[in-house]
Amino acid sequence: MKKNSVQQRLRIYFTGVGGQGTLTATTLLARAAMIAGLDVVAGEVHGMAQRGGVVESVLLLGGWRSPRLDFGEADVLLGFEPLETLRGLPYLRPGGAIFSSSDPLPPLGVSLGREQYPEMSLIEEKARRIAEQCKFLPCRAMGLAAGAAQSGNTALLGAACASGALPFGTEMLEKTIKHFLPSKVREINLKALAAGAAA
């Protein structure tokens, strides 16, 4: 996927589970886009605040009026849990980009033995059929290496920014982290950002 110009309209779909920080990641990327001078519209598509519920949000860059996203319209899919990435594939347009965690958080049905979690190889295969650019990262391990598992989300955002799939690079996300995140987690997230960009 070629690097987008600042003026290009871009639709980003986020998906994860409650408690992961999916909405925080959406807000962080939205603020980075605003620092980059882009028009931003963001909103939660569907979600449950309780831990473990599915959370979906959208970020539209470049002059959209409504935070609405239909199947086949997202240019970029950011998945913070691999099964939710798989479930979110219908939103991605053919030839779009996927950046996903490879660390599963099994839903209740799997934990109780009523359902089976799909193999990562199957999830990746289905993702690569649709996406031109596709990257799965061990976000939890990267976050822990930086100092906190939750910062793995920032690693994923860093990978997306560094890839050229977004109309701004990691420097905007770095500025956002320094300006908006509390001091106690700032350095951890900057380390995670650097790790994600390197990946």
Angle (deg, nearest 10), helices 152-163 and 170-180: 150
CA contacts within 13 A on the Cβ side of 106: 13
Which tokens hold the place of 185?
Answer: 């987690």
Residue pLDDT tens, the chain, 199 long: 344 444 479 999 999 987 677 888 999 999 999 999 999 998 876 555 455 578 899 999 998 887 789 999 999 999 999 999 999 999 999 999 999 999 998 777 777 778 889 999 999 999 999 999 999 999 999 999 999 999 999 999 999 999 999 999 999 999 999 999 999 999 999 999 999 999 8
* C-alpha to C-alpha distance for 154 and 26, rounded to whole angstroms: 10
Altogether, the residues listed in the chain come to a count of 199
Q: Which domains does the chain have, with CATH numbers?
A: 10-198 (3.40.920.10)
Query: In one letter, which amino acid is 106?
Result: P
Task: Please name the residue that has the structure tokens 């003026």.
Answer: 7
3-state secondary structure of 65: coil
